[in-house]
Every structure is written in C-alpha cells, then in structure tokens.
C-alpha cells in the first residue's frame, strides 16, 4: 500500500455540470452494496495530460465508449493540495493490502466478494488513486476493481482540491438534445 502526498498526482480533471468547483456540494463517502465496487459520494477525477486529443484517461474512455451526458459538462482543472495524503493502487498487491487493512463487510448472498471499506479508508486518507497500470492489474482478479475502467482518483476530502482553470469538453462527451434540438 503506497501512501503519498496528493500534489504528486499533478493537475486533475473533474467533469462537472457546474462552471465552478464547490467542495460544499460534495456528498460524504459511503460504501455501496454489491455489485458496486465504487463508493458513492466524493469527487472523481482523472489526471490531466494536457494532450488536446485525450486530456485525461477518463475522457479517452468516454470518447471510445461514446458515452452521452444528459446535460452540458464542464472540465474543471483542479490542483491537489500538498498537505493531503492519498493511497495508491498500482498492483494487485496494493489492492490486497488495502482490503486487508480496510475490509468491507460481505453482502448477504455474496460471502466471497471482498471489497474496500471506503468509509474506513476515508478516515485515514484524503483520497484513493488507481493508476493506469493498477486499473489493468485489478480488472479481472479477485478481489477486483472491475468497473473503474480508467486511471482515476476518488477524493474523500473535497477540500484537498482547488480550481485553477477550465477546459471545453464538448468534443469528448455528447450532449442529449431535447426535441427542439437544444441542449
């Protein structure tokens, strides 16, 4: 299990319906029940690459999967604060170490499914970063993080991020239009 300062991640890209980042709008982390591998709440980001064609691993995934949004989305550039600490998953061993220290209760009917207790992890860390390598290494394993799909960070503490800019996401995420052709 690797713990590091959040600012080592670099600038993060956050998709938002809002034009400005507001930590007060972020829901508290809660464990989801099976079959969900991800928690609810928090702030989901992906590392900003500065590449015009694929500014983040998440946007590349959106483009390849042709994901559609029901509303206009803004790309907010967020800078992690150096005093915040995250835990990182780069290997299956990292995932196993985290689950060993922060095990979630098995669901009724799924006693062999092991997952992270995100509520417990959030008491000790400000976020969890899944690397590109870690995403592939934990995709089809047991335990697994299948469904995370890309390099990403779930921020348990929204105050660890400050907005430093915006980018246009319209070429990456399609918008559903109403019957009059308006967004």
Span 71-80, average pLDDT: 84
In a domain, 181, yes or no: no
| Amino acid 146: pLDDT | 84
In a domain, 176, yes or no: no
In a domain, 36, yes or no: yes
In the chain, the number of structural domains is: 1
pLDDT higher than threshold 70 for residue 183: no
In a domain, 140, yes or no: yes
At 108-156, the pLDDT tens digits run 655 556 789 999 999 999 999 999 999 999 988 888 888 888 899 999 9
| Amino acid 120: pLDDT | 95
In a domain, 182, yes or no: no
| Amino acid 78: pLDDT | 96
| Amino acid 181: pLDDT | 39
At 8-19, the pLDDT tens digits run 889 999 988 888
In a domain, 147, yes or no: yes
Q: DSSP of the chain, one letter per residue? A: -EEEEGGGG--EEEEESSSS--GGGPPPPBPPPTT--SPBSSEEEEE----SS-SSHHHHHHHHHT-EESS--EEEEEEE-TT-EEEEE-SHHHHHHHHHHSBPPPBTTBTT---B-HHHHHHH-SEEEE-HHHHHHTSSSSS--TT--SSEEEES-GGGEEEEEEEE-TTTSEE---TTS--
In a domain, 102, yes or no: yes
Residue 67 or 133, more confident = 133
pLDDT higher than threshold 50 for residue 56: yes
**What predicted TM-score, i.e. pTM, was given to this entire model?**
0.85
In a domain, 179, yes or no: no
Per the structure, the complete domain to which residue 33 belongs is given by 2-171
pLDDT band of 86, cuts 50, 70, 90: very high
């Amino acid at each position: 299990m690797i713990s590091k300062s959040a600012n080592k991640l670099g600038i993060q890209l956050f998709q938002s319906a809002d034009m400005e980042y507001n930590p007060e709008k972020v829901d508290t982390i809660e464990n989801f029940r099976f079959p969900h591998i991800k928690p609810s709440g928090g702030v989901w980001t992906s590392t900003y690459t500065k590449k015009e064609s694929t500014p983040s691993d998440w946007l590349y995934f959106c483009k390849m999967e042709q994901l559609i949004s029901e509303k206009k989305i803004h790309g907010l550039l967020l800078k992690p604060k150096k005093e915040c600490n995250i835990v990182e998953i780069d290997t299956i061993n990292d995932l196993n170490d985290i689950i060993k220290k922060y095990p979630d209760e098995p669901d009724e009917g799924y006693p062999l499914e092991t997952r992270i207790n995100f509520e417990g992890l959030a008491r000790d860390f400000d976020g969890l970063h899944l690397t590109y390598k870690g995403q592939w290494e934990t995709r089809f394993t047991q335990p697994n993080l299948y469904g995370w799909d890309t390099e990403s960070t779930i921020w348990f503490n929204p105050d660890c991020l400050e907005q430093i800019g915006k980018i246009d996401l319209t070429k990456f995420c399609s918008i559903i239009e109403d019957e009059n052709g308006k967004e």
